[in-house]
Amino acid sequence: MKKKNKDTIQPVSGTIVPRFAGPSTFARLPELRDVEGCDVAIVGIPFDAGTSYRPGARFGPQSIRQASRHLRTNYHPDYDVEPFKVQQVADAGDITCNPFNIKEAIHQIENGALDLLKQTGGIISMGGDHTIAFPLLRAVNKINEGPVALVHFDAHLDTWDTYMGAPFTHGTPFRRAREEGLFLDDASMHVGIRGPLYSRDDLKNDESFGFKIIHCDEFQTEGIDKIVSRIRKRVGNNPLYLSIDIDVLDPAFAPGTGTPEIAGMSTREMVNVIRGLSGLKLISADVVEVSPAYDHAEVTSLAAATIIYELTNLFAKVKG
């Protein structure tokens, strides 16, 4: 439900209240309960029971909110838009999910996201580990009434079948999503993949699910413009879901994550790819795997917060 510019409740201004004070919401935005209508909701999903190495992503949402105080959010010159004036954006708090029962948590996340999508024009989810992408795609498919284009930024494929016999982990969400037909197999891709694999068959299996891959090394050989062109051509005019694992960034830019992988993207490359997607039909997104216990100076949390702010600008361009 789109609101007129004059009616939007905007973040608390850093020129009036210092950024280290004021509300603890994302970018000091209003809470969802305080707005009459909402175009984009930002929601935390503090769940990390699907993590295979370093835990702690359950604390990701609160650390991203804290780091978002750094942001100047009024006007973004790269998009030429005031994202919180042309659309109502609000913080929807956190979706409560059972940390001891993954199957129950998956249903809770799906139902919580579905409820938000019925109230808003789209959601940006703050994880949490990448397990949450599976129930989020389920919810998006119900609202969209069909599969969506999926662009997945990650160091890892996340299309493995199981970890130690467990079907629901942060390394399996897109295998489960493929089994349920939740994404378009002719309009989806991975970006930033790198490093060794478990098997020679991993890439063959992934290709059979319909994914195309932009390897991280291709940023050096092709550059941002060609990368963006390939993504836009692949997605086309389809509704788009973005799933962004913070470990797509090199550990120099995002040390606070569960499974860091060297030789990754820089934050400059990341934000410029996102900016290149302006105008595509973004309908929802997630940013996951921020584990603040392994962070320093809020480097990883600030990267995630900035990416989320960039995504609000993409939504603004879609609506504008």
CB contact at 8 A, 47 and 99: yes
Beta bridge partners of 244: 153, 287
Give the pLDDT confidence score for residue 6 in this predicted structure.
Answer: 55
Alpha-carbon gap, residue 263 to 151, rounded angstroms: 20
**Conformation bin of residue 95: beta by default, left when phi > 0, alpha when psi is -120 to 50:** beta
- Confirm if 313 and 280 have CB atoms less than 8 A apart: no
Given a contact cutoff of 8 angstroms between Cβ atoms, the answer to whether 69 and 305 are in contact is no
In sequence order, the 6+-apart residues with CB closer than 8 A to the CB of 139 are: 109, 110, 111, 113, 114, 117
Specify the DSSP class assigned to residue 304: H
pLDDT for the residue 147 = 98
pLDDT of residue 319: 72
Nearest to 254 by CA among 216, 293, 304: 304
Question: In angstroms, rounded to a whole number, what is the distance separating the alpha carbons of residues 62 and 204?
Answer: 38
DSSP character for 199?
-
Q: DSSP class of residue 8?
A: P
Domain layout of the chain by residue ranges: 5-319
Structure tokens at 287: 């940013």
Averages of pLDDT over each 10 residues, the chain, 320 residues: 63 91 96 97 98 97 98 96 97 97 98 98 98 98 98 98 96 98 98 96 97 98 97 98 98 98 98 98 98 97 98 90
Region of residue 223 (phi > 0: left; psi between -120 and 50: alpha; otherwise: beta): left
Taking residue 202's Cβ as centre, other Cβ atoms within 10 Å add up to: 15
The domain over range 5-319 is classified in CATH as 3.40.800.10 = yes
Q: What is the pLDDT of residue 1?
A: 38
Q: H-helix or E-strand containing 186? A: none
Separation between Cα atoms, residue 196 and residue 119, nearest integer Å: 42
Taking the CA atoms of 113, 176, 244 and 214 in sequence, report the sign of the dihedral they define. Answer: negative
Tokens representing residue 216 in the block: 């991280």
124, β-bridge pairs? 42, 285
pLDDT at 287: 99
